[in-house]
């Protein structure tokens, strides 16, 4: 098993290398120059050239790329061109905000999606099944920005129930320790702030959960329908087992593997692709951070930021593969 | 079997499937009794309703589309078809247990043998986990499995087909049920293993005094294992009687055909003769004898009226007009020169 994980990690190196190269080239292909952006449109050619030299941007691209790689291998994500502070320090609060939102959204998506899928399969062709599957169909097709804006309008503005932007009450800011506010407020015993943080999570969390929830529900349903026809389900019933346990113990464990795959992929997407939701809800996440860095042509931030997100994405998928073998004793990695 | 009390009594059972293509009467009014400690065989070609019969007794007919539409299944003074699901759960695995045709797929691949073996015990008895485990291990030993303690912690894919079927048998018997329904328990196994499993079932039947309903389409299995046998055709019973009687002197043309199509040295025939024609779709024949189209002895009455089960010897019945006392003077065909 450990050997398998090691092998998988080694295989990741070329994938991540290729990705860094593509990002490196694309960001440089965008018109505009970091030195120019920093100094403003009025800056003289000489001043721009001097700054470029200082930032190392006058070097040929392969020298720059090589240096970037060498830094990465040393564990150094580089320095922001704009703020001159290390990307690693700057990046974490944003990443933490994204992780918190993504995990929250995924918990909602998994709890509701998996159960809706199970019950739909259990009572196939019932009104519950039809309703759930129609909602799931709507869920995968509704534009998230529309859903987000509607949520803000209905629950935030009309009913004034929930906050619509940010991740904390600005009049009562959270003192960050880990950067994950749910945890930070708890370890500080600030339950008032904990409630606030949760309230801020609800609207963006639900908006973000919608698509994965719908996909998980549909996948769970189809996987369960197949498993429920299995002989061993009939065996379990023939022992006198309660239908609830037949479904949630015998059938679910067999049906869960394709669902785990979907959860892993969707989690990766939530972590990397939540820019739209982060923008609508003013969520200070990694998507916004990278997006803003592109505007400033802040090459190191973009390069390292995307690398970190990609790394998390592949690690989640590796984790899912490892989980397969935990669930299914027939899957052995050697 | 006369003298022994009945443990199960099936009367006029009807089970139909309500499909898009129409109503399929898979089991169409069958009646039989199962006596304490006996092994009763049910034979018939594929699709004649053997599995649906056993699933009906277990209350496990897939529903929808299946439904028991008539008749009663009497066990311990109660009609199982009328029981609520909650009460039926107490019967399953505890009073009546079942083993299935496919040992490869009938065990849950993701749970250890030990956990699947103890499941029924934990449901039906108040043994604790430890005692249940010990009881399960004893049962596995009884069905002749080696290195029981290790097997308890293994998963089904680590066992061979024959071992898995032994596990299935042990699992079914672990709560000491009064009735064991075995739906083609050996069909998926190779011949030597088949013989072992049958011997085992016979041994356990004697030792534990469990009544066994053995479903098969293999007359050889019936000859080796059963005391009495029921022959089914297109959802009905066409012949019922003691095994020795039926093999020596079959009273229904279908049984006769089945016997001729069995490759068995004991019934010295020159060559195998498969029954011409196919099993009709359930419900395809509404009037007359269902076997008429394939029957070499067919005469007018066969397609006009529905035959009943006519007694020929004590305990031996056949659904054939040739066995109707009224016909005997008109026709004198004999099925088998005995
Ligand atoms: N789930 C179902 N839906 C519709 N019809 C069914 C269903 N299950 C069984 N049937 C019908 O019931 C009839 C009897 O099926 P059954 O499984 O009892 O046959 P069998 O005698 O056990 O055959 P085999 O020897 O192949 O196991 C079949 O012909 C089939 O048409
Ligand atoms: Mg069958």
The tokens for B9 are: 């009594």
Assigned CATH topology for domain B6-105+179-334:
Rossmann fold (3.40.50)
pLDDT of residue B270: 54
Task: Please give the average per-residue pLDDT across B142-157, as a whole number.
Answer: 92
User: Is B181 a pocket residue for ligand 1 (Cβ < 6 Å)?
Assistant: no
Residue that is written with structure tokens 């003074």 in the block: B77
How large a percentage of chain A has pLDDT more than 90? 58
Nearest residue (CA) to ligand 1, atom 4: B17
Closest chain B residue by Cα to residue A242 = B89
- Taking a C-beta distance cutoff of 8 angstroms, is the pair B233, B253 a contact? no
Question: Which chain B residues have a beta carbon less than 8 Å from that of A239?
Answer: 92-93, 97, 119-120, 123, 171
Block residue for tokens 């923008």: A279
pLDDT at B151: 94
User: What's the whole-number mean pLDDT along residues B247-269?
Assistant: 75
pLDDT of residue A251: 96
Q: Using a CB–CB cutoff of 8 Å, tell me whether B117 touches chain A.
A: no
Average of per-residue pLDDT across A118-137: 95
Say if residues B143 and B170 touch (Cβ distance below 8 Å): yes
CA of residue B62 to ligand 1 center, whole Å = 11
Q: Is the pLDDT of residue B336 over 50?
A: no
Q: How far is B109 from B121, CA to CA, in rounded Å?
A: 20
Query: Rounded to the nearest 5°, which phi and psi values hold at A129?
Result: -55, -50
Judge: A240–B105 Cβ closer than 8 Å, yes or no. no
- 8 A C-beta contact, residue B25 and residue B31: no
What would the pLDDT profile of B16-35 be if each residue is shown by its tens digit?
Answer: 999 888 888 889 989 999 99
Say yes or no: CB of residue B48 within 6 Å of ligand 1: yes
> What residue owns the CA closest to ligand 1's atom 8?
B52
Tokens of A38: 């920093």
Within chain A, where are the H helices?
2-29, 34-39, 45-55, 61-73, 87-122, 127-141, 144-151, 181-187, 191-228, 231-238, 243-245, 252-272, 275-280, 286-295, 299-327
Model pTM? 0.86
- Residue scoring higher pLDDT (B273 or B162): B162
Q: What is the pLDDT of residues A73-88, one digit of tens each?
A: 888 888 888 888 999 9
Residue B152 in this model has a pLDDT that exceeds 80: yes
Any A CB within 8 A of B93 CB: yes
Bridge partners of B82?
none
Q: Predicted ipTM?
A: 0.86
State the closest ligand 1 atom to the C-alpha of B217, by its place in the atom list counted from 1.
25
Q: What is the pLDDT of residues B34-57, one digit of tens each?
A: 999 899 999 988 888 999 999 999
Which of B91, B100, B124 lies nearest to residue A235, judging by beta carbons? B100
pLDDT band at B338 (very low <50, low <70, confident <90, very high): very low
* Per-residue pLDDT at A139: 92
Judged against a pLDDT cut of 80, whether residue B132 lies above it is answered with yes
Q: Which of A240, A328, A329 sits opposite B123 (nearest CB)?
A: A240
Q: What is the mean pLDDT of residues B140-169?
A: 90
For ligand 1, pick from B43, B48, B56, B237 the residue to mutate: most ligand atoms within 8 Å of CB: B48
pLDDT digits (tens, 9 = 90+) for A1-17: 888 889 988 988 999 99
Q: CA–CA separation, A141 vs A164, rounded Å? A: 23
Which of A188-202 are b and which e, b meaning 16 or more Cβ less than 10 Å from the residue's Cβ? eebeebbebbeebbb
Please state the rounded mean pLDDT for residues A36-50.
84
Domains identified in chain A and CATH numbers: 93-294 (1.10.3720.10)
Mean residue pLDDT of chain A comes to 91
Contact between A231 and B106 using a beta-carbon 8 Å cutoff: yes
What would the pLDDT profile of B281-322 be if each residue is shown by its tens digit?
777 777 888 888 888 887 888 888 888 888 888 888 888 888
* Max mean pLDDT range (A262-276, B66-80, B244-258, B313-327): B66-80
Structure tokens at A77: 């994500």
Whether chain B has a CB inside 8 Å of the CB on A252: the answer is no
Whether A331 shows a pLDDT value over 90: the answer reads: no
Q: What is the distance in A from the centroid of ligand 2 to the CA of B82?
A: 24
Q: pLDDT higher for B293 or B163?
A: B163
For the stretch A94-123, pLDDT in tens is 999 999 999 999 999 999 999 999 999 999
Q: Give the number of other Cβ atoms within 10 Å of residue A129's Cβ.
A: 19
pLDDT of residue B51: 92
Interchain contact A329–B (C-beta under 8 A): yes
CB B264 within 8 A of CB B248: no
**Which positions in chain B touch A243 (Cβ < 8 Å)?**
85
């Amino acid at each position: 098993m450990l050997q398998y994980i090691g092998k998988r990690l080694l295989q990741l190196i070329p994938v991540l290398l290729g990705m860094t190269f593509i990002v490196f080239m694309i960001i440089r292909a965008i018109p505009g120059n970091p030195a120019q952006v920093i100094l403003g449109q009025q800056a003289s050619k000489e001043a721009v050239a001097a700054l470029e030299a200082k930032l190392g941007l006058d070097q040929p691209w392969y020298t720059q790329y090589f240096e970037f790689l060498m830094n990465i291998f040393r564990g150094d994500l580089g320095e922001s061109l704009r703020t001159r502070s290390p990307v690693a320090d700057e990046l974490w609060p944003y990443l933490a905000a994204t992780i918190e939102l993504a995990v929250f959204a995924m918990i909602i998506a998994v709890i509701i999606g998996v159960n809706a899928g199970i019950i739909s399969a259990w009572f196939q062709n019932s009104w519950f099944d039809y309703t759930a599957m129609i909602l799931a169909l709507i869920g995968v097709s509704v534009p998230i920005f529309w859903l987000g804006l509607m949520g803000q309008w209905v629950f935030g503005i009309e009913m004034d129930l929930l906050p619509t932007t940010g991740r904390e009450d600005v009049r009562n800011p959270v003192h960050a320790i880990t950067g994950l506010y749910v945890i930070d407020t708890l370890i500080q015993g600030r339950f008032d702030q904990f409630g606030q943080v949760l309230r801020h999570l609800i609207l963006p969390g639900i908006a973000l959960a919608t698509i994965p929830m719908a996909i998980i529900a549909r996948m769970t349903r189809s996987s369960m329908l197949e498993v429920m026809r299995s002989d061993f389900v009939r065996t379990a019933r023939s022992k006198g087992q309660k239908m609830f346990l037949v479904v949630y113990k015998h059938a679910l464990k067999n049906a869960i593997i394709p669902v785990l795959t979907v959860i892993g992929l969707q989690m990766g997407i939530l972590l990397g692709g939540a820019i739209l939701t982060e923008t609508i809800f003013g969520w200070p996440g990694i998507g916004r951070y990278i997006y803003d860095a592109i505007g400033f042509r802040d090459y190191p931030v973009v390069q390292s930021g995307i690398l970190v997100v990609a790394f998390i994405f592949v690690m989640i998928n590796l984790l899912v593969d490892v989980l397969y073998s935990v669930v299914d004793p027939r899957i052995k990695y050697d | 079997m006369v003298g022994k009390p009945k443990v199960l009594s099936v009367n006029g059972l009807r089970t139909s499937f309500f499909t898009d293509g129409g109503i399929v009467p898979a089991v169409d009014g069958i009646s039989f009794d199962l006596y304490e400690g006996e092994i009763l065989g049910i034979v018939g070609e594929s699709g004649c309703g053997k599995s649906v019969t056993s699933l009906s007794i277990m209350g496990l007919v897939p529903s929808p589309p299946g439904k028991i539409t008539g008749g009663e299944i009497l066990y311990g003074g109660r009609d199982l078809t009328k029981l609520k699901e909650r009460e039926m759960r107490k019967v399953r695995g505890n009073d009546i247990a079942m083993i299935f045709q496919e040992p490869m797929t009938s065990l849950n691949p993701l749970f250890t043998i030990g956990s699947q073996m103890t499941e029924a015990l934990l449901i039906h008895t108040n043994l604790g986990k430890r005692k249940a485990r010990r009881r399960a291990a004893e049962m596995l030993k009884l069905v002749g499995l080696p290195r029981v303690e290790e097997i308890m912690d293994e998963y089904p894919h680590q066992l061979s087909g024959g071992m898995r079927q032994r596990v299935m048998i042990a699992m079914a018997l672990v709560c000491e049920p009064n009735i064991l329904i075995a739906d083609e328990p050996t069909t998926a196994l190779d011949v030597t293993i088949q013989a072992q499993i049958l011997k085992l079932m016979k041994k356990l039947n004697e030792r534990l005094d469990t009544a066994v309903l053995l479903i098969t389409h293999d007359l050889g299995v019936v000859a080796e294992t059963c005391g009495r046998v029921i022959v089914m055709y297109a959802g009905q019973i066409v012949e019922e009687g003691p095994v020795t009687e039926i093999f020596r002197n079959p009273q229904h043309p279908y049984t006769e055909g089945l016997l001729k199509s069995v490759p068995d040295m004991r019934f010295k025939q020159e060559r195998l003769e498969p029954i011409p024609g196919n099993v009709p779709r359930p419900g395809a024949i509404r009037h007359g004898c269902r076997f008429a189209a394939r029957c070499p002895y067919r005469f007018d009455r066969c397609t006009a009226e529905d035959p009943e089960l006519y007694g020929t010897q004590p305990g031996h019945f056949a659904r054939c007009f040739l066995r109707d006392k009224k016909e005997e003077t008109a026709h004198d065909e004999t099925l088998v020169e005995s």
